[in-house]
Structures are given as C-alpha cells and as structure tokens.
Structure 1
Amino acid sequence: MSETPQRAGGRGTGREDGRTARARATRARIVAAATRLFTTAGYTATSIAAIAAEAGVSEQTVYYAFGTKRAVLTTALDLAIAGDDEPVPTLGRSWVRDALDDPEPLGQIRRQVAGAGDIYLRVAPLLDVVRSASTTDPDLAEVWTANIRQRLSVQRVFTEALARKTALRDGLSGDDAADIALTVLSPETYNLLVRDRGWDHSRWQAWAVDALTRLLTEL
C-alpha cells in the first residue's frame, strides 16, 4: 500500500507516481551521462557541470539528485554491478542462488564465472576508473577498498559452498581459496586479458572456469 494519502478521485497517487517516475528517469539519465564521461575523460577531469551538460539537465538537478560527484560514481557503479536499480544485493541475485544451489562443483564454478562475466561486461571499465582514481583521491580509495571487501565476501560464500560439494585442493584453507577466486575473477584480470590483450569474453570465461577448477579443486 502507498504511504502517500490518496486524494479525491485517486488522482493524487497518479501524480506522485508520475513525479517519481520522472525523477527516476532523470537520475538514470545523469548516471548514464556520468558513466560515459568517467570512462572516457576520467573521474578527476569530469565535473558536475560536465555531467549536467551531458545529461541535458542543470547542475542544481545533479546536486539535488546525488549531492556529490562521488555519489554519482558510486550509484553508477552499483547500477552497473546489479544491472538494474532494484535494491537486491549481489548474494540475493538469482544467478548467485542458482550457482550456490547447483549440486555439481563444476556446475557451480561455471555459473559463478558466467555471472561474474555478465557483471564485468557492464562494469569493468567503470571499476578501472575507480581503481585508477583511488591512487590520488582518498574518497575513491575508500570506494575501491570497499569494493574489494565486498567482492571478497561474495567469493568467500562461493568457496565455502564449493568446499561442501568437493574437497578443496591440497587442504586449501577457505581464506586462501577466497583470495584465489578474488584474483581470478577480478576486474583487473578481466581488463588485462580482454581489453589490453584482446581476448574475447568467451575466451576469458573458459579460462576462468579452468583456472578456478585447477586452483581450487582436485577435479
């Protein structure tokens, strides 16, 4: 039920929904514009004014919607990782549940790599922006550190599930297994192979499945 009282004739809810939809569309346009600028000009060189001009809105609209340039970037990052603006964390996503529920260890690894690959198709360039800017911008250093921590938490859940399905290689500890998965499925590795070395996405995906299988299990 709506928390906004409905006005006579039911028109109040419709007007509120219209405003919400317009605000959501404006935020999406700002995020898309910022993403284009961040990934071409870089974070430091991209100003709020440039984002506003690219999005076709006023600077005040950007400030009203997000407050800071960092908030624009983190929102863009969250949306690219998720693939939508639904408030569902990574571990609650259907592809993660499907991977964790797969009874076969190799099936889990394949689903895990496919899901990570889908994310990197959307977010790898933007993550590279964050990583690069984090060396000189303390705010983005925090964002990058938090992103690594979040990815590690996800990989720990995956490796714990894998260990329940098959023995880890040579008594590998859970922490070491998560670190290995974090490295293999990192945006740095993805960008190195796909962007810098010219691998296509399917080749990276096959390599990542093979690497995780060999490094984590006796399969």
Structure 2
Amino acid sequence: MSLTVAVVTAGLSQPSSTRILADLLADAVKAQVSARGESVKIEIIELRDLAQDLATTMVTGGLPTPKVAAAREILATADGLVAVTPVFTASYSGLFKMFFDILDPDTLRNVPTIVAATAGTPRHSLVLEHALRPLFAYLHALTMPTGVFAATDDFGDGAEGSGLAGRVRQAASELTTQMMQAGNAVAGFVQSDSDLTRRVSGNSLGATPDFATLLKGHAGTL
C-alpha cells in the first residue's frame, strides 16, 4: 500500500516554527507508516509561497491559478492531512483560513487530519479546540483525537523529550492507523453512499445548463 499525506503549513517567516512543527509531524507519520511495512509520499503545501495566488483566486470569484489548482488536487487525492498554522489574534492566521476557504466543501470529506498550531505562549493552546476543530468539522474532515500545539519553549532542549515529541508521535500514530484502516477496508463489508463519500477538488466546472433548462416551468409573467 502506498499512501499520500498532504502537509499544509502557514508559517510566514523563514525559518518558521510552524514549518518546523509541520516537518516534525511529517517525519513522525513517515516513520509510523514505514514501521508498518508500507510507503508514504509527503506533499508539502507552503502557503507563504501561494499568498499572491490565493488572493488572486479570491478576487476572481474562485477561479484558481495553476498553483492553487495543483494544491487543490493534492488535497483531493491525499489519504491524510497535516494542517499547521501560527496563532494570530487568538485564532488561525488569515492566510491559513484563505486557503481552506477556496476549497470545495467535499475536498476533505472523511480525510484523516491532524490539526496543529504554534504560538509564542502556551496560553493559546485552546486554539486547537475553539478554532481549528470547528473549521475542519465544517469541511467534513476526520480530525484525530490528539491535536498538537507547540509554544516557543517547546522548540528548545525539550523538543525531543516526552512533551512535544510525545504529542507528535501520538498524533502520527492515530493518523497512520486511520489511514491504513481506510485503505484496508474490504468492499462490501463497509456500507457507503457515493454522495456521502465523494471528494472533489473544485477545479472542474460542471456543464452549464441551457436556457431551456433554466427557464423550465417559468410562465413568462411576473
């Protein structure tokens, strides 16, 4: 089995603590999958590099640029997602929200997802619960029980200790287990409804109905 994990990181600086946390999670997932005898491909989506394209997509009524369309396709075909944002004004960043605003609501349906955030102080740790989980619940993603929050102090000497490293390993284990269970499901034993499980990138436009269809049933009077 070969799995694909999309990693969305919304850090703005270089180097970025948000990107560092995203890489820690990606490496942990890769290690967990490899330990179970499977392979995994990690697809990094660095939102800092997509900022102008996201703004263009927003102001053109959702018409994606090639870079945005490629990012949408990655998410629409990924087996799992790691989403990491810095905390701005007690919530996720505007760039992070802008990216998920331009997705089709069905892109992440039932996708196992780790939510994670970084901030300067542990006092922002509840952002995982009051901001990130509601966002991904709206997008129908399957968020893992363990979210990962990292304050500045977590990246010091204790980064490899039981604190941050332990949370990273636990979240990665949950994501790996969920992805592999989904991949090993036997057809016919799990009931599914195509309308409930379908995923789309939002890049393809449906056929435009003709005027006869649009005006069907209209008598022509006010």
TM over 0.5: no
Which range, TM-score by smaller chain? under 0.3
As a proportion of its length, which structure holds more helix? 1
TM-score, length of structure 2 as denominator length = 0.25
Larger RCO: 1 or 2 (CA < 8 Å, sep 6+): 2
TM-score, length of structure 1 as denominator length = 0.25
